[in-house]
Structure 1
Amino acid sequence: MTTYRLGVLAGDGIGPEIVSATVEAFKTAADKVGVNIDWIDLPMGWEGIKQYNDPLPEFTTNALKDTHGWILGPHDSAAYPLEHKVKLNPSGALRHTLDLFANIRPAKTMPGIKSVVGEADLVIFRENTEGFYADRNMFAGHGEWQITEDVVVTSGVFTRKAVERIAHAAFKMAMKRRKKVTIVHKANVLRLSTGLFLNVCREVAKQYPEVTVDDYHIDAMAAHLVRRAKDFDVIVTENMYGDILSDLAGELVGSLGLAPSINANATVAMAQAAHGSAPDIAGLNIGNPTGMMLSTVMLMEWLAERHNDNNLEEIGKLVEQSLYQSLKDGIKTKDLGGNASTSEFAKAISERINQIFVN
Protein backbone atom coordinates (compact mmCIF):
# COMPACT_ATOMS: atom_id res chain seq x y z
CA MET A 1 0.00 0.00 0.00
CA THR A 2 1.29 3.46 -0.95
CA THR A 3 2.09 5.84 1.87
CA TYR A 4 1.47 9.43 0.83
CA ARG A 5 3.75 12.14 2.20
CA LEU A 6 1.95 15.44 2.67
CA GLY A 7 3.68 18.56 3.89
CA VAL A 8 2.01 20.70 6.57
CA LEU A 9 2.98 24.39 6.66
CA ALA A 10 0.87 25.87 9.45
CA GLY A 11 1.80 29.49 8.82
CA ASP A 12 0.86 32.57 10.83
CA GLY A 13 -2.13 34.04 12.67
CA ILE A 14 -4.99 31.56 12.70
CA GLY A 15 -2.97 29.25 10.45
CA PRO A 16 -1.84 26.79 13.13
CA GLU A 17 -5.42 26.45 14.42
CA ILE A 18 -7.20 25.92 11.10
CA VAL A 19 -4.45 23.70 9.73
CA SER A 20 -4.52 21.54 12.86
CA ALA A 21 -8.31 21.25 12.55
CA THR A 22 -7.93 20.26 8.89
CA VAL A 23 -5.33 17.60 9.58
CA GLU A 24 -7.52 16.18 12.37
CA ALA A 25 -10.50 15.77 10.03
CA PHE A 26 -8.43 14.21 7.26
CA LYS A 27 -6.66 11.84 9.64
CA THR A 28 -10.07 10.56 10.70
CA ALA A 29 -11.22 10.12 7.10
CA ALA A 30 -7.95 8.51 5.97
CA ASP A 31 -8.14 6.04 8.85
CA LYS A 32 -11.70 5.05 7.87
CA VAL A 33 -10.81 4.61 4.20
CA GLY A 34 -7.58 2.78 5.03
CA VAL A 35 -5.05 5.12 3.40
CA ASN A 36 -1.63 5.75 4.93
CA ILE A 37 -0.66 9.42 5.06
CA ASP A 38 2.47 10.83 6.67
CA TRP A 39 1.78 14.43 7.71
CA ILE A 40 5.15 16.23 7.70
CA ASP A 41 5.33 19.47 9.70
CA LEU A 42 7.58 22.07 8.07
CA PRO A 43 8.41 25.62 9.22
CA MET A 44 6.99 28.59 7.32
CA GLY A 45 6.24 32.21 8.17
CA TRP A 46 7.18 33.40 11.64
CA GLU A 47 8.19 29.87 12.61
CA GLY A 48 10.63 29.84 9.67
CA ILE A 49 12.00 33.22 10.69
CA LYS A 50 12.43 31.98 14.25
CA GLN A 51 14.27 28.81 13.24
CA TYR A 52 16.11 29.86 10.07
CA ASN A 53 15.72 33.65 9.76
CA ASP A 54 13.67 33.01 6.63
CA PRO A 55 9.85 32.84 6.25
CA LEU A 56 10.34 30.12 3.63
CA PRO A 57 13.53 28.28 4.62
CA GLU A 58 15.49 26.36 2.02
CA PHE A 59 15.03 23.34 4.31
CA THR A 60 11.25 23.56 3.80
CA THR A 61 11.41 24.05 0.04
CA ASN A 62 13.75 21.08 -0.35
CA ALA A 63 11.57 18.90 1.89
CA LEU A 64 8.49 19.72 -0.18
CA LYS A 65 10.18 18.29 -3.26
CA ASP A 66 10.01 14.88 -1.58
CA THR A 67 6.27 15.08 -0.85
CA HIS A 68 3.21 14.22 -2.92
CA GLY A 69 1.72 17.63 -2.09
CA TRP A 70 1.15 19.91 0.87
CA ILE A 71 -1.21 22.25 2.66
CA LEU A 72 -0.17 25.85 3.18
CA GLY A 73 -1.62 27.88 6.01
CA PRO A 74 -2.00 31.67 5.66
CA HIS A 75 0.99 33.92 6.22
CA ASP A 76 1.22 37.40 7.74
CA SER A 77 3.98 38.72 5.49
CA ALA A 78 2.87 42.34 6.04
CA ALA A 79 4.15 42.05 9.62
CA TYR A 80 7.51 40.46 8.78
CA PRO A 81 10.74 42.40 9.40
CA LEU A 82 11.71 44.69 6.51
CA GLU A 83 14.46 42.37 5.29
CA HIS A 84 11.81 39.72 4.59
CA LYS A 85 9.09 42.07 3.33
CA VAL A 86 11.14 42.99 0.26
CA LYS A 87 11.22 39.35 -0.87
CA LEU A 88 8.43 37.26 -2.33
CA ASN A 89 6.02 36.10 0.36
CA PRO A 90 5.99 32.34 1.06
CA SER A 91 2.98 31.66 -1.15
CA GLY A 92 4.32 33.65 -4.09
CA ALA A 93 7.78 32.14 -3.68
CA LEU A 94 6.43 28.57 -3.77
CA ARG A 95 4.27 29.28 -6.81
CA HIS A 96 7.23 30.87 -8.60
CA THR A 97 10.01 28.51 -7.52
CA LEU A 98 8.04 25.30 -8.12
CA ASP A 99 6.19 26.62 -11.20
CA LEU A 100 2.72 26.06 -9.77
CA PHE A 101 1.14 27.61 -12.84
CA ALA A 102 -2.53 26.84 -12.16
CA ASN A 103 -4.41 28.50 -9.33
CA ILE A 104 -7.76 26.71 -9.26
CA ARG A 105 -10.48 28.43 -7.23
CA PRO A 106 -14.05 27.09 -7.09
CA ALA A 107 -17.02 29.10 -5.90
CA LYS A 108 -19.98 26.96 -4.92
CA THR A 109 -23.01 27.58 -2.74
CA MET A 110 -23.05 25.55 0.49
CA PRO A 111 -25.85 24.30 2.74
CA GLY A 112 -26.60 26.62 5.64
CA ILE A 113 -24.62 29.49 4.09
CA LYS A 114 -26.42 32.50 2.65
CA SER A 115 -25.49 33.26 -0.96
CA VAL A 116 -26.25 36.64 -2.49
CA VAL A 117 -26.44 35.10 -5.99
CA GLY A 118 -28.56 32.04 -5.27
CA GLU A 119 -27.27 28.70 -6.54
CA ALA A 120 -23.86 28.77 -8.19
CA ASP A 121 -21.15 26.22 -8.99
CA LEU A 122 -18.20 27.56 -10.96
CA VAL A 123 -14.43 27.24 -10.92
CA ILE A 124 -11.87 29.87 -11.91
CA PHE A 125 -8.56 28.89 -13.50
CA ARG A 126 -6.06 31.67 -12.82
CA GLU A 127 -2.72 31.66 -14.64
CA ASN A 128 -0.28 31.85 -11.78
CA THR A 129 3.15 32.77 -13.16
CA GLU A 130 2.82 35.80 -15.46
CA GLY A 131 0.27 38.48 -16.31
CA PHE A 132 0.16 41.71 -14.37
CA TYR A 133 1.78 40.44 -11.18
CA ALA A 134 5.18 42.04 -11.19
CA ASP A 135 6.57 39.76 -8.49
CA ARG A 136 6.07 36.62 -10.59
CA ASN A 137 6.77 37.50 -14.19
CA MET A 138 10.56 37.84 -14.19
CA PHE A 139 13.34 35.25 -14.11
CA ALA A 140 15.19 37.52 -11.67
CA GLY A 141 14.16 40.76 -10.02
CA HIS A 142 10.72 42.33 -10.21
CA GLY A 143 8.69 43.80 -13.04
CA GLU A 144 8.37 47.27 -11.52
CA TRP A 145 10.62 50.27 -11.97
CA GLN A 146 10.49 53.66 -10.29
CA ILE A 147 11.79 56.02 -12.96
CA THR A 148 11.60 59.16 -10.83
CA GLU A 149 10.12 60.01 -7.46
CA ASP A 150 6.79 60.57 -9.21
CA VAL A 151 6.82 57.94 -11.98
CA VAL A 152 6.47 54.14 -11.70
CA VAL A 153 6.34 51.69 -14.61
CA THR A 154 5.15 48.12 -14.25
CA SER A 155 5.14 45.24 -16.71
CA GLY A 156 2.75 42.49 -17.69
CA VAL A 157 4.13 39.36 -19.33
CA PHE A 158 2.15 36.96 -21.52
CA THR A 159 3.65 33.94 -23.29
CA ARG A 160 2.06 31.33 -25.51
CA LYS A 161 3.47 28.53 -23.33
CA ALA A 162 1.87 29.84 -20.15
CA VAL A 163 -1.48 30.56 -21.76
CA GLU A 164 -1.62 27.17 -23.49
CA ARG A 165 -1.06 25.20 -20.32
CA ILE A 166 -3.62 27.08 -18.21
CA ALA A 167 -6.10 26.83 -21.07
CA HIS A 168 -5.62 23.07 -21.36
CA ALA A 169 -6.09 22.72 -17.59
CA ALA A 170 -9.34 24.70 -17.78
CA PHE A 171 -10.72 22.79 -20.75
CA LYS A 172 -9.86 19.42 -19.19
CA MET A 173 -11.81 20.43 -16.11
CA ALA A 174 -14.73 21.59 -18.23
CA MET A 175 -14.89 18.15 -19.87
CA LYS A 176 -15.58 16.71 -16.39
CA ARG A 177 -18.20 19.32 -15.56
CA ARG A 178 -20.81 21.12 -17.72
CA LYS A 179 -18.54 21.54 -20.76
CA LYS A 180 -18.48 25.31 -20.85
CA VAL A 181 -15.47 27.65 -20.67
CA THR A 182 -15.52 31.44 -20.35
CA ILE A 183 -12.34 33.33 -21.27
CA VAL A 184 -11.84 36.63 -19.43
CA HIS A 185 -9.58 39.32 -20.92
CA LYS A 186 -9.39 43.00 -21.88
CA ALA A 187 -8.40 42.60 -25.50
CA ASN A 188 -10.40 45.62 -26.61
CA VAL A 189 -7.79 47.83 -24.91
CA LEU A 190 -4.81 45.59 -24.10
CA ARG A 191 -4.84 44.21 -27.61
CA LEU A 192 -1.41 42.58 -27.69
CA SER A 193 -1.13 41.21 -24.15
CA THR A 194 -4.60 40.00 -23.22
CA GLY A 195 -5.28 39.72 -26.94
CA LEU A 196 -2.66 36.97 -27.02
CA PHE A 197 -4.34 35.35 -24.00
CA LEU A 198 -7.72 35.36 -25.73
CA ASN A 199 -6.42 34.12 -29.08
CA VAL A 200 -4.33 31.28 -27.65
CA CYS A 201 -7.23 30.12 -25.46
CA ARG A 202 -9.44 30.03 -28.56
CA GLU A 203 -6.78 28.00 -30.40
CA VAL A 204 -6.70 25.50 -27.53
CA ALA A 205 -10.51 25.37 -27.55
CA LYS A 206 -10.44 23.79 -31.01
CA GLN A 207 -8.97 20.66 -29.40
CA TYR A 208 -12.09 20.36 -27.21
CA PRO A 209 -14.98 20.55 -29.71
CA GLU A 210 -17.51 19.37 -27.11
CA VAL A 211 -16.90 22.44 -24.97
CA THR A 212 -18.94 25.62 -25.51
CA VAL A 213 -16.73 28.72 -25.36
CA ASP A 214 -17.52 32.39 -24.79
CA ASP A 215 -15.49 35.37 -23.59
CA TYR A 216 -15.99 38.64 -21.70
CA HIS A 217 -13.99 41.73 -20.87
CA ILE A 218 -12.88 41.75 -17.22
CA ASP A 219 -15.11 44.68 -16.22
CA ALA A 220 -18.20 43.14 -17.81
CA MET A 221 -17.37 39.78 -16.27
CA ALA A 222 -17.43 41.24 -12.76
CA ALA A 223 -20.93 42.53 -13.43
CA HIS A 224 -22.07 39.22 -14.95
CA LEU A 225 -20.85 37.31 -11.88
CA VAL A 226 -22.96 39.50 -9.62
CA ARG A 227 -25.99 39.25 -11.89
CA ARG A 228 -25.89 35.60 -13.00
CA ALA A 229 -23.13 33.57 -11.39
CA LYS A 230 -25.15 30.37 -11.85
CA ASP A 231 -24.69 30.54 -15.62
CA PHE A 232 -20.91 30.04 -15.48
CA ASP A 233 -19.01 26.77 -15.32
CA VAL A 234 -15.25 27.12 -15.89
CA ILE A 235 -13.61 30.54 -16.17
CA VAL A 236 -10.01 30.98 -17.37
CA THR A 237 -8.07 34.22 -17.09
CA GLU A 238 -4.71 35.82 -16.35
CA ASN A 239 -3.13 36.28 -12.95
CA MET A 240 -4.48 39.55 -11.59
CA TYR A 241 -7.94 39.25 -13.16
CA GLY A 242 -8.20 35.74 -11.70
CA ASP A 243 -7.24 36.96 -8.25
CA ILE A 244 -9.90 39.67 -8.30
CA LEU A 245 -12.68 37.56 -9.83
CA SER A 246 -12.11 34.60 -7.50
CA ASP A 247 -12.29 36.83 -4.42
CA LEU A 248 -15.50 38.34 -5.75
CA ALA A 249 -16.99 34.95 -6.55
CA GLY A 250 -16.06 33.58 -3.12
CA GLU A 251 -17.80 36.45 -1.38
CA LEU A 252 -20.88 36.18 -3.61
CA VAL A 253 -21.53 32.54 -2.69
CA GLY A 254 -21.03 33.05 1.04
CA SER A 255 -17.74 34.46 2.25
CA LEU A 256 -14.14 34.79 1.13
CA GLY A 257 -13.33 33.11 4.44
CA LEU A 258 -14.88 29.90 3.09
CA ALA A 259 -13.15 29.97 -0.30
CA PRO A 260 -10.79 27.10 -1.20
CA SER A 261 -8.08 26.78 -3.82
CA ILE A 262 -5.16 24.70 -4.96
CA ASN A 263 -2.01 25.70 -6.82
CA ALA A 264 -0.70 23.01 -9.12
CA ASN A 265 1.53 22.00 -11.98
CA ALA A 266 1.63 18.63 -13.74
CA THR A 267 3.35 16.81 -10.87
CA VAL A 268 2.59 18.48 -7.53
CA ALA A 269 -0.12 20.55 -5.85
CA MET A 270 -0.51 22.85 -2.85
CA ALA A 271 -3.75 23.39 -0.94
CA GLN A 272 -4.21 27.00 0.15
CA ALA A 273 -7.34 28.75 1.41
CA ALA A 274 -8.03 32.07 -0.30
CA HIS A 275 -8.28 34.09 2.94
CA GLY A 276 -5.59 35.72 5.06
CA SER A 277 -4.07 35.01 8.46
CA ALA A 278 -6.45 37.14 10.61
CA PRO A 279 -3.79 37.96 13.24
CA ASP A 280 -6.36 39.86 15.33
CA ILE A 281 -8.07 36.59 16.31
CA ALA A 282 -5.00 34.34 16.38
CA GLY A 283 -4.90 32.00 19.36
CA LEU A 284 -8.57 32.49 20.25
CA ASN A 285 -9.69 29.17 18.72
CA ILE A 286 -12.44 30.88 16.71
CA GLY A 287 -10.98 30.84 13.18
CA ASN A 288 -13.04 29.14 10.49
CA PRO A 289 -11.21 26.13 8.96
CA THR A 290 -13.74 25.61 6.14
CA GLY A 291 -11.62 27.18 3.40
CA MET A 292 -8.57 25.19 4.46
CA MET A 293 -10.54 21.95 4.66
CA LEU A 294 -12.15 22.39 1.25
CA SER A 295 -8.76 23.27 -0.22
CA THR A 296 -7.47 19.97 1.12
CA VAL A 297 -10.50 18.22 -0.40
CA MET A 298 -9.35 19.66 -3.73
CA LEU A 299 -5.83 18.41 -3.04
CA MET A 300 -7.17 14.90 -2.44
CA GLU A 301 -9.10 15.01 -5.72
CA TRP A 302 -5.98 16.16 -7.55
CA LEU A 303 -3.85 13.44 -5.93
CA ALA A 304 -6.48 10.79 -6.71
CA GLU A 305 -6.28 11.59 -10.41
CA ARG A 306 -2.51 11.98 -10.41
CA HIS A 307 -1.91 8.63 -8.66
CA ASN A 308 -4.97 6.80 -9.98
CA ASP A 309 -6.14 6.13 -6.44
CA ASN A 310 -9.88 6.50 -5.86
CA ASN A 311 -9.38 6.07 -2.13
CA LEU A 312 -7.90 9.56 -1.97
CA GLU A 313 -10.98 11.00 -3.62
CA GLU A 314 -13.10 9.05 -1.13
CA ILE A 315 -11.24 10.74 1.74
CA GLY A 316 -12.03 14.13 0.27
CA LYS A 317 -15.70 13.26 -0.26
CA LEU A 318 -16.00 12.06 3.33
CA VAL A 319 -14.65 15.33 4.72
CA GLU A 320 -16.68 17.48 2.33
CA GLN A 321 -19.93 15.61 3.04
CA SER A 322 -19.35 15.77 6.80
CA LEU A 323 -18.45 19.46 6.65
CA TYR A 324 -21.60 20.30 4.68
CA GLN A 325 -23.70 18.24 7.07
CA SER A 326 -22.22 20.13 10.02
CA LEU A 327 -23.12 23.47 8.42
CA LYS A 328 -26.60 22.19 7.61
CA ASP A 329 -27.00 21.13 11.24
CA GLY A 330 -26.20 24.66 12.33
CA ILE A 331 -22.71 23.96 13.64
CA LYS A 332 -20.85 27.10 12.63
CA THR A 333 -17.95 29.22 13.78
CA LYS A 334 -18.42 32.77 15.06
CA ASP A 335 -17.87 34.43 11.67
CA LEU A 336 -20.91 32.57 10.31
CA GLY A 337 -23.14 33.51 13.24
CA GLY A 338 -22.50 30.32 15.22
CA ASN A 339 -20.77 29.62 18.52
CA ALA A 340 -18.55 26.62 17.68
CA SER A 341 -14.84 27.01 18.24
CA THR A 342 -12.32 25.93 15.63
CA SER A 343 -11.62 22.70 17.48
CA GLU A 344 -15.32 22.03 18.13
CA PHE A 345 -16.06 22.46 14.43
CA ALA A 346 -13.31 19.97 13.56
CA LYS A 347 -14.62 17.55 16.15
CA ALA A 348 -18.14 17.78 14.69
CA ILE A 349 -16.80 16.88 11.26
CA SER A 350 -14.85 13.91 12.61
CA GLU A 351 -17.97 12.71 14.45
CA ARG A 352 -19.97 12.80 11.23
CA ILE A 353 -17.25 10.92 9.38
CA ASN A 354 -17.52 8.20 12.01
CA GLN A 355 -21.32 8.23 11.76
CA ILE A 356 -21.20 7.71 8.01
CA PHE A 357 -19.18 4.54 8.51
CA VAL A 358 -21.42 3.29 11.32
CA ASN A 359 -24.49 3.77 9.12
Structure 2
Amino acid sequence: MATPIEKGRRSLNLTLRRELNLYANVRPCYSLPGYKTCYDDVNLITIRENTEGEYSGLEHQVVRGVVESHKIITRQASLRVAEYAFHYAKTHGRERVSAIHKANIMQKTDGLFLKCCCEVAEKIPLLFCVEYVNDNIEMGLQLVKNPALFDFLVMPNSYGDIISDLCAGLVGPLEG
Protein backbone atom coordinates (compact mmCIF):
# COMPACT_ATOMS: atom_id res chain seq x y z
CA MET A 1 0.00 0.00 0.00
CA ALA A 2 1.49 3.32 -1.04
CA THR A 3 1.22 6.33 1.24
CA PRO A 4 0.25 9.32 -0.90
CA ILE A 5 1.25 12.84 0.07
CA GLU A 6 -2.03 14.52 0.92
CA LYS A 7 -2.38 17.88 2.54
CA GLY A 8 -4.29 17.93 5.82
CA ARG A 9 -4.92 14.17 6.04
CA ARG A 10 -3.39 11.57 8.30
CA SER A 11 -1.77 8.66 6.46
CA LEU A 12 -4.07 5.69 5.88
CA ASN A 13 -1.18 3.40 6.91
CA LEU A 14 -0.84 5.21 10.24
CA THR A 15 -4.60 5.15 10.80
CA LEU A 16 -4.80 1.40 10.15
CA ARG A 17 -1.84 0.69 12.43
CA ARG A 18 -3.48 2.59 15.27
CA GLU A 19 -7.03 1.33 14.78
CA LEU A 20 -5.97 -2.31 14.40
CA ASN A 21 -3.26 -2.12 17.10
CA LEU A 22 -0.54 -3.20 14.65
CA TYR A 23 2.34 -2.22 16.91
CA ALA A 24 5.00 -4.71 15.76
CA ASN A 25 6.06 -4.84 12.12
CA VAL A 26 7.80 -8.20 11.65
CA ARG A 27 9.98 -8.57 8.56
CA PRO A 28 11.85 -11.82 8.05
CA CYS A 29 14.68 -11.59 5.53
CA TYR A 30 16.37 -14.69 4.20
CA SER A 31 18.07 -16.00 1.10
CA LEU A 32 16.06 -18.32 -1.12
CA PRO A 33 17.79 -21.27 -2.77
CA GLY A 34 17.99 -20.90 -6.52
CA TYR A 35 17.83 -17.09 -6.57
CA LYS A 36 21.08 -15.33 -7.34
CA THR A 37 21.72 -12.43 -4.95
CA CYS A 38 24.78 -10.87 -3.35
CA TYR A 39 24.49 -13.24 -0.37
CA ASP A 40 23.23 -16.79 -0.19
CA ASP A 41 23.24 -17.07 3.60
CA VAL A 42 21.08 -14.17 4.85
CA ASN A 43 18.73 -15.16 7.67
CA LEU A 44 17.63 -12.31 9.89
CA ILE A 45 14.46 -10.76 11.23
CA THR A 46 13.67 -7.10 11.85
CA ILE A 47 10.93 -5.90 14.15
CA ARG A 48 10.05 -2.25 14.21
CA GLU A 49 7.75 -0.47 16.62
CA ASN A 50 4.97 0.53 14.28
CA THR A 51 2.89 3.25 15.99
CA GLU A 52 5.26 5.89 17.36
CA GLY A 53 8.46 7.73 16.57
CA GLU A 54 8.75 10.24 13.77
CA TYR A 55 5.82 8.58 12.00
CA SER A 56 3.33 9.63 14.67
CA GLY A 57 1.92 12.23 12.31
CA LEU A 58 2.55 15.08 14.74
CA GLU A 59 3.91 17.96 12.73
CA HIS A 60 2.99 21.56 12.13
CA GLN A 61 4.26 24.84 10.75
CA VAL A 62 5.77 26.99 13.49
CA VAL A 63 6.09 30.10 11.35
CA ARG A 64 6.34 30.56 7.62
CA GLY A 65 9.33 28.57 6.38
CA VAL A 66 9.77 26.61 9.63
CA VAL A 67 8.08 23.28 10.31
CA GLU A 68 8.36 20.96 13.26
CA SER A 69 7.86 17.20 13.61
CA HIS A 70 7.68 15.44 16.96
CA LYS A 71 9.23 12.07 17.74
CA ILE A 72 7.07 10.33 20.32
CA ILE A 73 8.47 7.34 22.22
CA THR A 74 6.58 5.95 25.22
CA ARG A 75 7.63 3.43 27.82
CA GLN A 76 4.42 1.45 27.25
CA ALA A 77 4.93 1.05 23.48
CA SER A 78 8.67 0.40 23.84
CA LEU A 79 8.15 -2.33 26.44
CA ARG A 80 5.34 -3.84 24.38
CA VAL A 81 7.42 -4.14 21.20
CA ALA A 82 10.51 -5.28 23.13
CA GLU A 83 8.53 -8.01 24.90
CA TYR A 84 7.02 -9.10 21.59
CA ALA A 85 10.44 -9.08 19.89
CA PHE A 86 12.26 -11.03 22.59
CA HIS A 87 9.45 -13.57 22.87
CA TYR A 88 9.39 -13.96 19.08
CA ALA A 89 13.17 -14.38 18.98
CA LYS A 90 13.10 -17.02 21.71
CA THR A 91 10.25 -19.02 20.17
CA HIS A 92 11.90 -18.90 16.73
CA GLY A 93 15.29 -20.19 17.87
CA ARG A 94 17.20 -16.92 17.64
CA GLU A 95 20.30 -16.43 19.79
CA ARG A 96 20.81 -12.69 19.95
CA VAL A 97 18.68 -9.60 19.65
CA SER A 98 20.21 -6.34 18.48
CA ALA A 99 18.50 -3.22 19.82
CA ILE A 100 19.05 -0.54 17.18
CA HIS A 101 19.08 3.01 18.53
CA LYS A 102 20.67 6.45 18.51
CA ALA A 103 20.64 6.99 22.27
CA ASN A 104 24.02 8.67 21.97
CA ILE A 105 22.26 11.58 20.22
CA MET A 106 18.58 11.19 21.15
CA GLN A 107 19.17 10.47 24.79
CA LYS A 108 15.57 10.83 25.96
CA THR A 109 13.62 9.10 23.17
CA ASP A 110 16.03 6.43 21.99
CA GLY A 111 17.44 6.19 25.51
CA LEU A 112 13.98 5.17 26.75
CA PHE A 113 13.59 2.65 23.93
CA LEU A 114 17.00 1.12 24.68
CA LYS A 115 16.32 1.02 28.42
CA CYS A 116 13.07 -0.86 27.79
CA CYS A 117 14.85 -3.37 25.54
CA CYS A 118 17.50 -3.95 28.22
CA GLU A 119 14.82 -4.43 30.90
CA VAL A 120 13.09 -7.08 28.82
CA ALA A 121 16.41 -8.76 27.95
CA GLU A 122 17.17 -9.23 31.66
CA LYS A 123 13.98 -11.29 32.02
CA ILE A 124 14.90 -13.69 29.20
CA PRO A 125 18.28 -15.19 30.15
CA LEU A 126 18.59 -17.46 27.12
CA LEU A 127 18.97 -14.55 24.73
CA PHE A 128 21.97 -12.30 24.32
CA CYS A 129 21.09 -8.63 23.78
CA VAL A 130 23.43 -6.47 21.72
CA GLU A 131 23.18 -2.70 21.37
CA TYR A 132 23.88 -1.16 17.99
CA VAL A 133 24.08 2.57 17.52
CA ASN A 134 22.35 3.33 14.25
CA ASP A 135 24.76 5.79 12.66
CA ASN A 136 23.10 4.95 9.36
CA ILE A 137 26.47 4.67 7.64
CA GLU A 138 28.42 2.48 10.09
CA MET A 139 25.57 0.16 11.05
CA GLY A 140 24.35 0.03 7.45
CA LEU A 141 27.85 -0.79 6.21
CA GLN A 142 28.16 -3.62 8.71
CA LEU A 143 24.79 -4.98 7.63
CA VAL A 144 25.68 -4.80 3.93
CA LYS A 145 29.25 -6.11 4.30
CA ASN A 146 28.44 -8.97 6.65
CA PRO A 147 24.74 -9.65 7.23
CA ALA A 148 25.69 -12.74 9.26
CA LEU A 149 26.65 -10.38 12.12
CA PHE A 150 22.95 -9.83 12.65
CA ASP A 151 20.36 -12.36 13.75
CA PHE A 152 17.38 -10.41 15.03
CA LEU A 153 16.92 -6.62 15.16
CA VAL A 154 14.38 -4.56 17.10
CA MET A 155 14.13 -0.81 16.65
CA PRO A 156 11.96 2.31 16.67
CA ASN A 157 9.70 3.01 13.72
CA SER A 158 11.72 5.17 11.32
CA TYR A 159 14.92 3.14 11.70
CA GLY A 160 12.94 -0.01 11.02
CA ASP A 161 11.47 1.49 7.88
CA ILE A 162 14.92 2.14 6.44
CA ILE A 163 16.76 -0.92 7.77
CA SER A 164 14.09 -3.43 6.76
CA ASP A 165 14.20 -2.05 3.20
CA LEU A 166 18.00 -2.35 3.27
CA CYS A 167 17.65 -5.98 4.42
CA ALA A 168 15.26 -6.70 1.56
CA GLY A 169 17.89 -5.35 -0.81
CA LEU A 170 20.35 -7.95 0.49
CA VAL A 171 18.25 -10.78 -0.93
CA GLY A 172 16.57 -9.13 -3.90
CA PRO A 173 15.20 -5.92 -5.33
CA LEU A 174 12.59 -3.87 -3.46
CA GLU A 175 10.49 -3.63 -6.62
CA GLY A 176 10.31 -5.83 -9.69
Question: Is 1:204 the equivalent of 2:123?
Answer: no
Unaligned ranges ≥5, structure 1? 1-73, 136-142, 258-334, 336-359
Following superposition, the deviation at residue 75 of structure 1 comes to 4.1
The CA deviation string for residues 232-284 of structure 1, in whole angstroms up to 9 with x for no partner, is 11100000000000001001111224xxxxxxxxxxxxxxxxxxxxxxxxxxx
Instruction: Confirm or deny: 8 A CA contact 2:3 2:12 kept in the other structure.
Output: no
1: CA distance, partners of 2:46 / 2:3:
25
Q: Give 1:164's aligned amino acid.
A: L
Aligned to 2:109: 193
Matched, 1:253 2:175: no
Q: Render the CA deviation track for 1:154-213: whole Å, top value 9, x for unaligned.
A: 110111110111101111121122221000000111111101111110011011100011
**Contact 1:164–1:204 (Cα < 8 Å) also in 2:** yes
Give 2:134's match in structure 1, choosing from 203, 209, 218: 218
Letter in structure 2 aligned against 1:231: L
What is the CA-CA distance between 1:96 and the residue it aligns to? 1.5
Contact 1:126 1:238 in 2 (8 A): yes
Looking at structure 2, the residues matched to 153 and 91 of structure 1 have their Cα atoms a distance apart, in angstroms, of 21
Q: What's 1:77 paired with?
A: 4
Matched, 1:172 2:87: yes
Distance in 2, matches of 1:99 and 1:86, equals 23
Q: Is the 8 A contact 2:38 2:170 kept in 1?
A: yes
Query: SS of the residue aligned with 1:206?
Result: helix
Partner of 2:156: 238
| Separation of aligned partners in 2, 1:210 and 1:86 | 47
- Displacement of 1:76 after TM fit? 6.4
Q: Which one has the largest radius of gyration?
A: 1
With structure 1 as the length reference, what TM-score do the two structures score?
0.46
Aligned counterpart for 1:107 among listed residues 21, 24, 29: 29
Q: State the number of aligned residues.
A: 173
What residue is the counterpart of 1:97 in the other structure? Answer: 19
Identity %: 39
Among 52, 55, 59, the residue aligned to 1:130: 52
Q: TM-score, normalised by structure 2?
A: 0.91
Is the contact between residue 122 and residue 233 of structure 1 (CA under 8 Å) also seen in structure 2? yes
Q: Higher strand share goes to which structure?
A: 2
Decide whether the 8 Å contact of 1:121 with 1:233 is kept in 2: yes
- The higher relative CO (CA closer than 8 Å, separation ≥ 6) is in 2
Letter in 1 for 2:146: R
2:73 matches 1:158? yes
Tell me the distance in 2 between the aligned counterparts of 1:114 and 1:197. Answer: 37
Whether contact under 8 Å (1:124, 1:246) holds in the other structure is yes
| Distance in 2 of aligned mates of 1:180 and 1:212 | 5
Letter in 2 for 1:196: L
Contact preservation (8 Å) 1:117, 1:228: no
Superposed counterparts of 1:1-359, under 5 Å: 74-75=1-2, 77-78=4-5, 86-135=8-57, 143-175=58-90, 176-219=92-135, 220-257=138-175, 335=176
Contact (CA 8 Å) 2:14, 2:56: kept in 1 or not? no
SS at match of 1:223: helix
Instruction: Kindly provide the amino acid, as one letter, of the partner of residue 195 in structure 1.
Output: G
Q: In the TM superposition, what is the alpha-carbon distance from 1:231 to its structure 2 partner?
A: 2.4
Question: What is the Cα-based RMSD across aligned positions, in Å?
Answer: 1.6
Asked if structure 1 preserves the Cα contact closer than 8 Å seen for 2:102 and 2:134, the reply is: yes
SS of corresponding position for 2:56: coil
Aligned-pair CA distance for 1:107: 1.1
| Cα distance, 1:177–1:86 mapped onto 2, change above 3 Å | farther
- Structure having the larger proportion of residues in helix: 1
For 1:166 and 1:76, locate their aligned partners in 2 and report how far apart those are by CA, in whole Å.
Answer: 23
Distance 1:77 1:102, change over 3 A: same
